[in-house]
Amino acid sequence: MSGNGQQPESSVDEAQGKGNSVAPSAASRLAVALGLSALVLALGLGAGGYYLWTRQHALDDQQQQITTTLRTLDTTLRSELTRGLDELRAEQQALRDVAQQMRTTLEKGRDYSAASDAEYLMRIAGHRLLLEHDLPSAVSALEEADQRLRDIDDPTLFNIRQQLIEEITQLKTVPQPDITGVSLTISSLEKQIERLSPLGAGTEAPATRPGPATQQFWDTLWSEIKNLVVIRRNDQAGLPLSHPEQRVYLQHNLRLTLETARLALLRRDTQTFRASLATARDWLARYYEQDTAAKAAQETLTHLEKIELSPPLPDITPALKNLRAWLEQSKKSVPATSQPSAAPSGTPQPSP
């Protein structure tokens, strides 16, 4: 029994040894499998990392290339845009220069035209003043000329305007006789002649009525005497005018003398005007009764004799001469189309 009892124990030991030999083989296989898996995983991760690195590098190269391309394109576009803007600015500056030149030319032409109008008006003033002694018209023409020059923006015209304004001021200070009032006064004196009493008008004796033959004889005789008798002025007192024809003749000559004074007044002939008034005043003192009406007429004539019809006039040519010199100098830079060839419209023509 003891023998049987030892045999089973050895079997158990053998079985345990086989089990222990089998267990290490399975573990080694698992370890190998795990190692291979780790290797594959490492290789996969390495390959994936390499791929990702390569892809990232390619993307970086592509991005760098795109960035370079964009920078090149931006530089090109900036260059083209800058060149285009420069050309556009140059064209705009050229257009501005042309426009400024045209504007300057037009302004010069406009200024030249205005100055030519002013020169024409100043000539008109000279004609009105010297030929017609029309001070109001001369002053108006010069003031209009000054208005034309004022619209011209040229400092070189300052001295000309100053001269012109001084001439206008001098003209305004010239005393102007009341031509219309004096003419009306002379007309009033002419109407008063018929109401004045000549010397001897009340001493005429009534004459007997002659017969036809006698009347014809006396008429013929008086006609011959009138052709022979000439009335001369002397310093003696006037004789009574007893005959009606003598009084009519005196009144007629007195009217003619006053009418001569009126014509001299309109012509601004001071010498003839005063001489005619003096003659009329002398006849009133010599051949008319010195009543209130006659004395008043003589006083009126004396007052009229003191009137100066042609007072001294200032010289208005300096400004005109300087303006003509300015026009001659400016004519070179003004287009021919801007130079006036005739008198300005609406301006009166000068007297010949």
Q: How many CA atoms lie within 13 A of 276 on its CB side?
A: 20
Neighbours of 298 (CB within 10 A): 17
Whether residues 130 and 186 fall in one domain: no
- 40 in a structural domain: no
pLDDT at res. 341: 47
Whether residues 192 and 150 fall in one domain: no
Three-state DSSP class for residue 344: coil
In the predicted model, what is the mean pLDDT of residues 2-7? 47
pLDDT at res. 79: 85
- 150 in a structural domain: yes
Answer with the residue of higher pLDDT: 25 or 306: 306
Task: Output the DSSP codes for 99-133.
Answer: HHHHHHHHHHHHHHHHHHHHHHHHHHHHHHHHHH-
Mean of the per-residue pLDDT values for the chain?
A: 77
Contact 203, 240 (CB under 8 A): yes
Whether residues 170 and 195 fall in one domain: no
Q: Of the given ranges (49-63, 250-264, 305-319), which has the lowest mean pLDDT?
A: 49-63
Categorize the per-residue pLDDT at 59 as very low, low, confident or very high, splitting at 50, 70 and 90: confident
Question: Taking 60 as the threshold, does the pLDDT of residue 51 lie above it?
Answer: yes
pLDDT at res. 224: 52
Task: Output the DSSP codes for 291-304.
Answer: SHHHHHHHHHHHHH
Q: Say what percent of the chain tops pLDDT 90.
A: 18
Domain housing 139 = 105-175+316-335
Cα separation, 270 vs 310, whole angstroms: 7
Q: Specify the pTM.
A: 0.51
Whether residues 292 and 191 fall in one domain: yes
Whether residues 187 and 295 fall in one domain: yes
Cα separation, 70 vs 327, whole angstroms: 65
pLDDT at res. 206: 46
Angle between the 270-287 and 244-266 helix axes, to the nearest 10 degrees? 160
Whether residues 162 and 252 fall in one domain: no
In the predicted model, what is the mean pLDDT of residues 171-191? 88
Answer with the residue of higher pLDDT: 31 or 159: 159
Cα separation, 345 vs 286, whole angstroms: 58
Contact 316, 126 (CB under 8 A): yes
Pick the last residue of a domain from 310, 326, 346: 310
**Amino acid identity, residue 40?**
V
Whether residues 132 and 185 fall in one domain: no
Categorize the per-residue pLDDT at 88 as very low, low, confident or very high, splitting at 50, 70 and 90: confident
Q: The dihedral of CA 51, 56, 59, 60: what is its sign? A: negative
Whether residues 324 and 250 fall in one domain: no
pLDDT at res. 146: 92
Cα separation, 338 vs 342, whole angstroms: 12
Residue 11, C-beta contacts closer than 8 angstroms, at least 6 positions apart: none
Task: Output the DSSP codes for 217-265.
Answer: HHHHHHHHHHHH------SSPPPP--SHHHHHHHHHHHHHHHHHHHHHH
Six-digit token string for 197: 């009493």
In the predicted model, what is the mean pLDDT of residues 82-90? 86
* Strands, E assignment, the chain: none
Q: pLDDT tens digits, residue range 142-176?
A: 999 999 988 888 888 899 999 999 999 999 888 88
Instruction: Look at the chain and report how many structural domains it folds into.
Output: 2
pLDDT at res. 47: 82
Unique residue bearing structure tokens 């304004």:
165
- 16 in a structural domain: no
In the predicted model, what is the mean pLDDT of residues 69-80? 85
Categorize the per-residue pLDDT at 84 as very low, low, confident or very high, splitting at 50, 70 and 90: confident
Answer with the residue of higher pLDDT: 352 or 259: 259
Whether residues 125 and 187 fall in one domain: no
Whether residues 185 and 281 fall in one domain: yes
Whether residues 157 and 271 fall in one domain: no
pLDDT at res. 64: 85
pLDDT at res. 3: 46
- 6 in a structural domain: no
Categorize the per-residue pLDDT at 119 as very low, low, confident or very high, splitting at 50, 70 and 90: very high
Q: How many CA atoms lie within 13 A of 25 on its CB side?
A: 5
pLDDT at res. 318: 92
pLDDT at res. 166: 93
Categorize the per-residue pLDDT at 108 as very low, low, confident or very high, splitting at 50, 70 and 90: low
Contact 310, 270 (CB under 8 A): yes
- 322 in a structural domain: yes
Question: Taking 70 as the threshold, does the pLDDT of residue 215 lie above it?
Answer: no
Categorize the per-residue pLDDT at 349 as very low, low, confident or very high, splitting at 50, 70 and 90: very low
pLDDT at res. 104: 59
Q: The dihedral of CA 209, 211, 214, 217: what is its sign? A: positive
The CA-based angle 39-40-42, given to 5 degrees, is 60
Answer with the residue of higher pLDDT: 107 or 310: 310
288 strand-pairing partners = 198
Six-digit token string for 264: 């001299």
Q: Of the given ranges (58-67, 86-95, 107-116), which has the lowest mean pLDDT?
A: 107-116
- 121 in a structural domain: yes
pLDDT at res. 220: 59
Whether residues 192 and 269 fall in one domain: yes
In the predicted model, what is the mean pLDDT of residues 291-301? 89
pLDDT at res. 196: 82
Unique residue bearing structure tokens 């005043």:
281
- 270 in a structural domain: yes
- 258 in a structural domain: yes
In the predicted model, what is the mean pLDDT of residues 303-311? 87
Cα separation, 167 vs 315, whole angstroms: 7
Cα-based distances in Å from 160 to 54, 340, 347: 92, 21, 21
Question: Taking 60 as the threshold, does the pLDDT of residue 202 lie above it?
Answer: no
